[in-house]
Structure 1
């Protein structure tokens, strides 16, 4: 078993390939390892924290953020529309690109990304996307620096989100896979993985194409990144897991792709990287959720085995449900060795290893208590509470996300949580603007926003942190 999958309960430190790559001139990878553990702890941050990460990015860029902050400040123009137009010219005009120093093009891409995150710029991009896509293609295929390639991957996603018809899956599928496989920078590989996942999710592609990309991500996970030159790099492997999960939410029939991939995600629960563990746990919960459905009247006379014995189902509850409550119907098997899976999840939900920081240990305990609960009760979403309300009904999933200062949305299923996490990766704090104004985003996650109660408090700045389910 590789270093990445050494037991977290046994401690130990996973060696990083970032240090060895630093000698080849890839400075952008030098600090990414130090951010790996903090990433998972802020997976479900609120969206009133500002429009961007500190480096203006959607994804963790490591030391890239430090270098970008040292670039010359963006000149102020009379309006953001003029600023966007100026940055588009700098990115797309051939003569301008030649005149710009390396930092100038990077600055233009960074400003472009910030504006597309914080604003819905569909009308401003009208008639310009072909030139923008052509310019981004050049930066992705032959970027002069790691920063340029990384920012171009992000710009591709944001342009696609703004104008879903701006490009096709076939135009960038091969270039992005080549970037993932051949580029030396781990940061660029990670950005390209996220871009490829977004490309397959938002463009009009066939089920076969989606499953092909999922198999590509599965190979990265199964080989701990070694097959793409990112051996035992937590950020790269976690990115592949996250995008695999996003694409799973778009499939109508997930049985075959689940059958050939589940074991790799269970293996990654034994990673020493918290972000890999959490991503794997969430995907396992999602796969479990997709493998079951609510019973219907047509099932009453059926003698087919639904996977959970009625008596066993009722015995799992502390407060016995009504006698006519039927267990969910199992459509297919996710992972055959359920005792093994449940034991790993139980250990992770109670682990007290000192090699994991106190903050990450809280994240680990809460996440895997919820994943274990879903494995036992497949149709119970994240933060599910079996405690009864005043009307005698179970409170259900309690995962709520504060959206700006206006309200909250409830993420009561794992597929909603997976998509919300993905949209926050792409849009940062601008998710509220796009969710309200961009039909592409709202259709991908059609949630109802409730008014935030007056006593709605932020839990250490994050109202939607995973809580252990009530028994």
Structure 2
């Protein structure tokens, strides 16, 4: 009874002015500073409770407004305590929005579920979020706008990344995504509709992000032949798809190189699962070596693509940069390193593998303006990435000068090395690819 009255009060306030309510509430939430956050904790929770109450209402616009308010709060704050108390309540209302809402409401609810899982962190709550959401997300993929499908795919990737307990659960989500990437014939015998460039690129990015959680020793190369072959076709210039698709496919290919699937040899199994027999092994190794040669050539061509007159220059620089890094990784075994300062307290986020780089790029896109806040305070991200301390902050002026001198020397050496590698690419010095 009490809950019903509380919902009624929330409905009255939202019905009077949805936009004004969420705007004022969101502003109030975002203006809370660490110094006064404790003082205003009751006000913060009261505002969040009002949004939850509004999710029970019949008007779709009211629920959409409430979702926007909750999204703003979850981006602006790392609400661990609130999620501990309200996780299942929030999850059930978000799922209800997916079941009965418009495509806009579904998109908002999917993002809200993803942020809920990221805030909850790895554990039983995240696992429950995944278990209850996957069936609904799978159904939501079959209809709706491209924007809605993209939201569903990204949500599916995030909740599986955080909540999956084993390979079987991860594989279920990977298969759902792959059906979007490479649709098969439907039951009536007709071809499935080919996804748009935006949906295809998003699906591949989500799939790659989730694939980073699988260790190489758990991968049977035979199961990935189709994936590698299809991704290779997407590296070809195709008027049906734009460069965003080739870039997404390139990241996935880089991951297969890192996992050792595209670098197999007859003398070693690269940590992958045992083959059924020697014949199977030789066939798979031969196939992967041929694919490595083919894909390496594609990577080189895309790293050197010219932007001449009449060429589509959108994402051209991003494409060349990515494929140059992949080419360098294939030839030299060096992964691009990223150092990202995330706070004034000398904390630096570092990536040193393709898996980490793919995870970083995906989570930065997904969290948007909330990435920095979560990188600073969310233990989940601390567990995923490498965190180091910038030791120069505590040095004297003389020591900082010496440190900068060393850094400049290192940067000069790296620039010289990059120039040599770029020159080698321009001259077409392709290292043998069948070794």
Say whether the fold is shared (TM-score over 0.5). Answer: yes
Matched, 1:403 2:346: no
Equivalences for residues 254-403 of structure 1 within 5 A: 254-256=219-221, 257-270=223-236, 271=238, 272-291=241-260, 305-306=267-268, 334=288, 336-353=290-307, 354=309, 356-358=311-313, 360-377=315-332, 379-382=333-336, 397=337, 399-403=338-342
Distance 1:104 1:130 in 2: 21
1:124 to 52, 67, 82: 82
Distance 1:375 1:277 in 2: 17
> Deviation string for 1:136-195 (max 9, x for gaps)?
01011221x2221111000001111111443343211111011012x2211111100011
> Deviation string for 1:80-118 (max 9, x for gaps)?
745653453344337x7427x543322221221122122
More helix by share: 2
Q: Give TM-score, length-normalised by structure 1.
A: 0.64
1:187 to 141, 144, 147: 147
Distance 1:180 1:134 in 2: 19
> Deviation string for 1:315-343 (max 9, x for gaps)?
xxxxxxxxxxxxxxxx9775633332122
Equivalences for residues 212-291 of structure 1 within 5 A: 212-223=172-183, 231-252=194-215, 253-256=218-221, 257-270=223-236, 271=238, 272-291=241-260
Output the aligned Cα RMSD: 3.7
Q: Give TM-score, length-normalised by structure 2.
A: 0.69
Gaps of 5+ in 1: 1-67, 295-302, 309-330, 383-396, 458-466
The higher relative CO (CA closer than 8 Å, separation ≥ 6) is in 1
Distance 2:242 2:288 in 1: 24
User: Does the 8 Å contact 2:98/2:109 carry over to 1?
Assistant: yes
User: Does the 8 Å contact 2:97/2:109 carry over to 1?
Assistant: yes
- Seen in structure 2, the aligned counterparts of structure 1 residues 237 and 267 have a Cα distance that, compared at 3 Å, is same
Distance 2:368 2:392 in 1: 21
Distance 1:190 1:447 in 2: 30
- Seen in structure 2, the aligned counterparts of structure 1 residues 98 and 232 have a Cα distance that, compared at 3 Å, is closer
Distance 1:138 1:161 in 2: 20
Secondary structure in structure 1 of the residue aligned to 2:390: strand
User: Does the 8 Å contact 1:88/1:132 carry over to 2?
Assistant: no
Cα displacement (A) at 1:246: 1.5
Gaps of 5+ in 2: 1-17, 271-283, 394-399, 409-417, 425-435
Higher Rg of the two aligned structures: 2
